[in-house]
Amino acid sequence: MTRPAKEPLRILAPNPSALTGPGTNSFLIGRDHVAVIDPGPDDPAHLAAIVAAAQGRISHIFVTHAHRDHSGGAARLAAMTGAPILAFGDALAGRSPVMQRLAGQGLVGGGEGLDHDFRPDRTLRDGETVSTPDWALTALHTPGHSGGHLCLAWGDQIFTGDVVMGWSSSIISPPDGDLADYMRSLDRLAGLAPRRLLPAHGAPVDDPAGRIAELAAHRRARSAQILAALRDGPDDAPGLARRIYDVPPDLLPAATRNVLAHLIALSTLGAAVADGDLSATTRFSA
């Protein structure tokens, strides 16, 4: 591989969609000891391209979180290379107490691709650094999009998975996603003041502070929009999504999950009141 020492190689997976944008970015760093960040979906051609680019030198496979567009190819790539898989945990790891309670009461995710079969060979603690003579990566537990989401700091750059994307905001689908955790993760990334962000979807972000501020402002504006709609009368997440989102019908389920995430956060703060136990169709009042 021929590239500057601090420039990762990006291999785009062939999985474009309304939720993945142009597809999943699989990143490679290192020369003699190659780390793969997010091998992407279980697509043999994509995984073969990763192995070819690494020239057989893959030493570690990092997965930011257990969604199939990120983790699906990890087991196959590990079998092809003998490299261990490193992540925060399995698909259910890292859930907040609120989301654990809601899951225990029967709240389930919205089909956003949770990889229930994913099992890392090695779990990473928040703040733990993995290094070789070629590189050092520090794990940052950044829940919100999923409970076990990791960002990976590489010098003054951060691989951000789906917490900060280069083309859109992230879906937050309870109980896998938690809006309060997501906002705290954005604050943490902003406080680190990185030079550059390397998202798993979309282009690199060369203005991290501006992009993070934009995403946080978007969420605050969405919460205000939901509260304004509730002041017109009680409603549930599906009804509110239809009222406040202007999206194609195939994106409405994802919008509904985002609204539900906001409603749960607002009810925790006391700004919205649930009519009974929380579920995907619970009605809320302001």
230-231-232 Cα angle (round to 5)? 85
Q: Phi and psi (nearest 5°) for 59? A: -110, -25
Is the CA virtual torsion 91, 96, 97, 99 positive or negative?
A: negative
112: confidence class by pLDDT, cuts 50, 70, 90:
low
pLDDT at 2 over 50: no
**Closest to 88 measured CA to CA, from 27, 138, 22:** 138
Copy the structure tokens of residue 58. Answer: 């893959």
**CB-based burial label for 167 (10 Å; 0-12, 13-18, 19+):** exposed
Taking the alpha carbons at both ends of the chain, their separation in whole angstroms is 57
Could you state, in order of their start, the residue ranges of all structural domains in the chain? 9-206
Looking at residue 90, the DSSP 8-state letter turns out to be S
Do residues 143 and 68 lie in contact, with contact meaning Cβ atoms separated by under 8 Å? no
Q: What is the pLDDT of residues 195-229, one digit of tens each?
A: 999 999 999 999 999 999 999 999 999 999 999 99
Looking at residue 138, the DSSP 8-state letter turns out to be E
Q: What is the pLDDT of residues 132-184, one digit of tens each?
A: 999 999 999 999 999 999 999 999 999 999 999 988 999 999 999 999 999 99
Percent of the chain scoring above 90 in pLDDT: 86
Q: What is the pTM of this model?
A: 0.94
**CB-based burial label for 257 (10 Å; 0-12, 13-18, 19+):** buried
Residue 4: the pLDDT is: 42
245: confidence class by pLDDT, cuts 50, 70, 90:
very high
281: confidence class by pLDDT, cuts 50, 70, 90:
confident
Side chain identity, residue 56: G
Copy the structure tokens of residue 271. Answer: 């700004």
Do residues 22 and 14 lie in contact, with contact meaning Cβ atoms separated by under 8 Å? no
The CATH homologous superfamily to which domain 9-206 belongs is: Ribonuclease Z/Hydroxyacylglutathione hydrolase-like (3.60.15.10)
